[in-house]
Amino acid sequence: MQADRLSAVAVLGVPLELGAGRAGTSFGPDAIRRAGLQSRLEALGLEVSDEGDITVASALPSQQAEENPLLNMKHAREIIRVNRILSRRVSALHDGGRLPLILGGDHSLALGTIAGAARSRGRIGVIWIDAHGDVNTADTSPSGNVHGMPLAAALGYGHRALTAIGGRQPLVRPENVVLIGVRSLDPGERSLLRQTGVTVFTMPEIDRHGMAFVMEQAIAMATRGTSGVHLSFDMDSLDPLHAPGVGTPVAGGLTIREAHLAMELLAAARVVGSADLVEVNPLLDDGNRSAELAVDLAASLFGETIL
């Protein structure tokens, strides 16, 4: 599917919280739907189909190291299973001429969305908007939480059980990957980002250069030699004052206007072929405010304008 011919969007929920350090993101897809996502997108003239949710097994905290504690990947078996299913579903939606919009759920699901997009579209770029790098591996992660590992796995780094999802390694090339809004990195993540040469726009760089400049650069890098862009948007990229309902908030994040401008510039460029909105945690939210903001941002991504 070509992003510049967008007319149909398929919404798919992944109520996954096993990759995170606390419960609640499993309720994210439902919260975003209840905030009016489908009607908001349909008002833009889009054909929107809700594909329901992928079934995710629950697990007790005591089961976190069930497979092998040496792997340092909590709940790895179920997360891998879900991502394999998600990869196939995203690929099928692409092949059916619809743009997949995946609702999370924790950020470990992004490995499946990227794998599915790459399977159908070949070489893709990734714009990853997040307070964190998510480029830990089982060897470097301080927590063993898999939601901190999906981008590393997509780049071909980490345990083979993760990097093999999608059937090819790597799923994306570092020169086509851009991180935006980063302000919290573990030591192993810093090392891997330097090693790979992935472009990172930290919050201080956004402060200095402005979001318009950052997005222009990001779009140029992510589209160079690719069929389009996968957008992975973690709601914790926003400052917690605006999006309190996330599991790993970090102060000093994006303003609402900066986030909207990023979406508006992506919409104007017509390069997004798939997207995920992740890490909405209604258990930590204030009156579903974070889910409502996620809907606002999705509307901007799909072309809603002031005039």
Residue 178 DSSP symbol: E
pLDDT mean across residues, the chain: 94
CATH of 3-301, one of 3.40.47.10, 3.40.50.261, 3.40.800.10, 1.10.1660.10: 3.40.800.10
Q: How far apart are the first and last CA of the chain?
A: 28
The string of DSSP codes covering 52-71 is EE-------GGGTT-S-GGG
Q: Is the dihedral of CA 288, 300, 146, 168 positive or negative?
A: positive
pLDDT for res 3: 45
pLDDT for res 1: 40
Instruction: Read off the pLDDT of residues 180-233 as tens digits, 9 standing for 90 and up.
Output: 999 999 999 999 999 999 999 999 999 999 999 999 999 999 999 999 999 999
Contacts of 173 (CB under 8 A, 6+ apart): 123
**Considering the entire predicted model, what is its pTM?**
0.95
- 229-234/199-202 β-pairing: unpaired
Q: Are 257 and 300 in contact (CB under 8 A)?
A: no
* Average pLDDT for 63-87: 80
C-alpha distances in angstroms, 75 versus 78, 95, 121, 266, 300? 6, 30, 30, 34, 34
- The 10 Å Cβ neighbour count of residue 299 is 20
Q: Are 54 and 11 in contact (CB under 8 A)?
A: no
Whole-angstrom Cα distance, residue 87 to residue 284? 29
Q: Is the dihedral of CA 262, 290, 180, 94 positive or negative?
A: negative
pLDDT at residue 162 tops 60: yes
Instruction: Read off the pLDDT of residues 237-257 as tens digits, 9 standing for 90 and up.
Output: 999 999 999 999 999 999 999
How much of the chain exceeds pLDDT 90, in percent?
91
Structure tokens at 258: 């900066």
Question: What positions carry a catalytic annotation?
Answer: 107, 130, 132, 134, 147, 234, 236, 279
